[in-house]
Amino acid sequence: MRGLIALKPRNAAAAGKDFPYGLPTTCFIEVSSDGSVSQGIDVQAYERAVEGTSRLFAVWPGTYSSDLFAIDDLDAYARAVGIVHDQERTGLAEHEHQIRWQPADLDSNGHGTYIYVVVHFECGCAIRDLRAFADQMRAQRGWDVATSSGWSGSGDRFTVRVRRRSLSA
């Protein structure tokens, strides 16, 4: 009977920007220097890896087989999962956005909990990551942006859904 074959894991950095850090089915593993193994990576695990007291791995699930990768580029990982803000990935600078906004015509007379809002960036930003935009708008304006329903738009105009009461607050 064959046992486990220990292969040297591939490096996630070699997979470049395509590495699916954000894929919900990607399995993350932390191996501490004392040999303990745990599944999942939180901010504390990331910080331990930066300090060098643990190493991080990810299993990239494939259709027919899955591969183990060593997360060798911790900066890329941190940007990809939002531990470190990534302007290129999110389209959003880390600043107070200069925006104009108005309710979208399509439901301005509605009474739903959430309404569509057209956001016009005057600061040159764009929305490429709705969760990052929602986090920033919560902090900057108290907006409660719905992250489950996606967004639309391009250039400097985007349509998002925002909880009505958070707009008037």
Q: Does 70 bind Zn ion (CB under 5 A)?
A: no
Interface pick for Zn ion out of 12, 125, 145, 162 (rule CB under 5 A)? 125
The three state secondary structure string of 12-46 is: HHHHHHHCCCCCCCCEEEEEECCCCEEECCCHHHH
x/- contact string, 88-117, with Zn ion (CB under 5 A)?
-----x---x--------------------
- Is the Cβ of residue 116 or residue 121 nearer to Zn ion in the bound state? 121
Alpha carbon dihedral 41, 47, 52, 57, in 10-degree steps, equals 20
Q: Smallest distance from the beta carbon of 151 to Zn ion, in angstroms?
A: 15
Phi, psi of 93 (to 5 degrees): -70, 155
Q: Smallest distance from the beta carbon of 92 to Zn ion, in angstroms?
A: 6
Return residues touching Zn ion (CB under 5 A): 93, 97, 123, 125
